[in-house]
Each structure stands twice: as structure tokens, then as C-alpha cells.
A and B are shown apart, each in its own frame.
Chain A
């Protein structure tokens, strides 16, 4: 066998495994068959691969199995339609529940006394945290807050470290 023929046989090996396991593309299939017709070594290899895949494959389906598959289309369609009906019913119930809930909310508000409704409670200005503070203290605190809010000094401008000034910024140099 020439080197060229050996190379062709080596290339065939992969295709022989593919051929034994399932369909090949048309061009590949005809090339393989043409090679097999003239190469006894590859024919033996093809038989080995066929033996491997005949063991990988499942046994043929049984009569019982075939019987179970009879009418699958009709059964599946019936199951689909049953599922659709259940889904439509569930959607209808959900919609009805949503309508009832929407109708119940205003009714509930109308029937609950205004004083007991937390939504209607008025927040009083003198809450416990203000107790013990004089009016002057409160005014001072508010004034401090106003000053803080108006302080728009940039964060790094004028920042200078005491001491050796190694990290001094601004005019410290």
C-alpha cells in the first residue's frame, strides 16, 4: 500500500465511524463507498465500527411500546386542549378575583372610621423627641442646619496638613 493510500485510509477512519453511527453528507457518503469498494482494510474497519454502534443502539421497539405510541397525536392534542381550558379557567378566576379586590378596596375605606385609619392620622409638630427643648434651642438647631446646607466649600480647596506640610494643598507651598 502506498503512502498516499495509507493517508486516504487514515482519513477514512473518522468517516467510517460517522457512517456507522448515522447519515453522512451525500458527497462524503459517495466518497466513502467508492473507497470501500477497493479497500479491504477499510471494509474490515467499517465492520468493526458497525459492531460497536450496533451495541450502542437500543434494541428495536417492542410491540407493547408501539402500541403505547398509537394515537399519540390525538392524545397529545387532547392534553393540550385540556391544559388550555384549565389555563383559561385559571385566568378567568384571577380576573374575577382582581375585579372583586378592586371593588372591595373603596368599600373598605368607606366603612372604616376615619379616626382609626392610620392613613388619616395627623402628625403633630411636638413629638416626643422635641420634648425638653426650648423654642430657642429649636431655632438654633434650625439655623445651624441652614448654615451647613449653604456651605458649598469645595472639599479639597484650602486643605493643608499641620506639621511638615508634605501633603499641603492650596497656599501652603
Chain B
């Protein structure tokens, strides 16, 4: 994995006036540079910073967009589209950002990934909760057939309940569950306060639990 080491200020012994040296080495620990620093490096022509940013957030974007695709393998195309849009948006907007704002790129990326997914689902006319293709690939080991059937039934009940949630509630729940994001990041990505995100979340999960209990879960 790429790690980035910066030696700011140039070589004092040689007395040379030069730009800060930025050396890239392949290590196992990963880069410690912030997303925003990597982004500025990439926009200045450092293509390795691009790869590092993609690698750093690939799992998150994958987890977010796969909710919206009919075929799981399509999620890679959506992830690529999300990254390209996020980089394009960053190039337009980064110059206007004053100072260092940690988490800004990640928030952009999450918001864009969700929008790319929603657009794709709208175009495809569906919103995925599970699909037959995925169910057939569930390993046979584990619960027996009747338990699996019951679980599939419960999933269907939950799917209906999810579709009854408001769009905002659904976004908060999916960012939390699929992306595993803390509420602070959910709020940042959806441009709301953290408390507001929690209120949406608790309203939603109460409805989900009631729906499941109502169905005898």
C-alpha cells in the first residue's frame, strides 16, 4: 500500500531553494495524509494520490451503492461513476474551500455515491433490498431450509417497512447500516445536524421494529 512521506522545506544542508519534496513509498501501513491533502496532490498532477483515495474509500462506496443495483456486480460501475463525479466536484469546489476541513471529501463522496445510486435505481425502476440472484448464492451451510425460508419472509416484511419510510429516514438508516457511518458523518453527508440524523434514525427503526413485530417476528 502506498504511504506518503513529506519532507517540508527542502534540503537545508545543500541550501537549495526548492519546493517541498514529496516522496512516495510502498509500505503496508497506508498513507497518513488527509483526504484533502491527497486530493490537492492529485489535482496538482500526482496520480498515485488518486489511487490511494480510491483504495481508501472503495469499501465504503461499494457498501453504499450496492443497495441500489439489481445485479451485485453492477455496483463497481456505480462506484467508478461516484468517484469520477466526486473528483470532478472536488476540482470545481476545492479552490473555494478555506483552510483544512477534515472529512470534506468523504462527505462529498458519500453524498455523491448515494445520489448516483438513487439515480441508477430510478432509471432501473427499482430499489433493491435483496434479490433472487443474491439469495441463491447464500451458502447452504448454517440454518436449515425452513429457517432460511422464515428469514426470507422476515426480509420481505422489512423491505415493505423500509419502503414506507420517508426518503430521509431511509437514507439515514442505509448510511448507518450499509456504510457503518457514525451519526456525525451521516449528518455531514446529508447536510443536517447530528441530532436531526438521530431523530430520523430512531423514528425509522421504531417503525421497522413495529412492522416486524406486527408480522410475528
A residues engaging B (CB < 8 A)? Answer: 14, 17-18, 21-23, 25, 48-49, 51-53, 55-59, 61-62, 64-65, 67-69, 72-77, 79-80, 83
Contact = CB atoms under 8 A, between A and B. Distances in A.
The B interface is mostly helix, strand or loop, or mixed, namely helix
Given A25-B182, A49-B205, A72-B76, 19 more contacts: A14-B202, A17-B205, A49-B209, A52-B208, A55-B154, A56-B162, A57-B178, A58-B67, A58-B178, A59-B135, A62-B73, A65-B76, A69-B76, A73-B51, A76-B50, A76-B54, A77-B51, A77-B54, A83-B84
A55 B182 contact: no
Given A52-B205, A73-B58, A80 B50 contact: yes
A64 B73 contact: yes
A59 B205 contact: no
Interface string B121-153: 000000011100011011000000000000100
B191 interface: no
B176 A21 contact: yes
A22 B50 contact: no
Contact of A52 (B74, B176, B198, B212): B212
A75 B83 CA distance: 11
Kindly name the residue among B158, B182, B205 whose own CB sees the greatest number of chain A CB atoms within 10 A.
B205
Given A64-B72, A64-B73, A21 B158 contact: no
B177 A53 contact: yes
7 contacts: A25-B182, A49-B205, A53-B177, A62-B134, A67-B73, A79-B84, A80-B50
Interface in B164-180: 173, 176-178, 180
Contact of A21 (B54, B134, B201): B201
Nearest to A81: B47
B62 A76 contact: no
Contacts of A72: 54, 58, 76, 79-80, 83
Interface of B: 47, 50-51, 54-55, 58, 62, 66-67, 72-76, 79-80, 83-84, 87, 128-130, 134-135, 137-138, 151, 154-155, 158, 162, 173, 176-178, 180-183, 198, 201-202, 205, 208-209, 212, 217
B62 A73 contact: no
B202 A76 contact: no
Contact of B201 (A18, A48, A52, A67): A18
Contacts of B80: 72, 75-76, 79
Given A55-B151, A65-B73, A21 B205 contact: yes
Contacts of A25: 182
A51 B182 CA distance: 20
Contacts of A59: 130, 134-135, 137-138
Contacts of A48: 209
Contacts of B134: 58-59, 62
Contacts of B162: 56
Contact of A62 (B137, B180, B183, B209): B137
A59 B67 CA distance: 10
B72 A22 contact: no
Contact of A73 (B54, B66, B180): B54
B95 to A, nearest CB: 18
Contacts of A51: 217
B72 A65 contact: yes
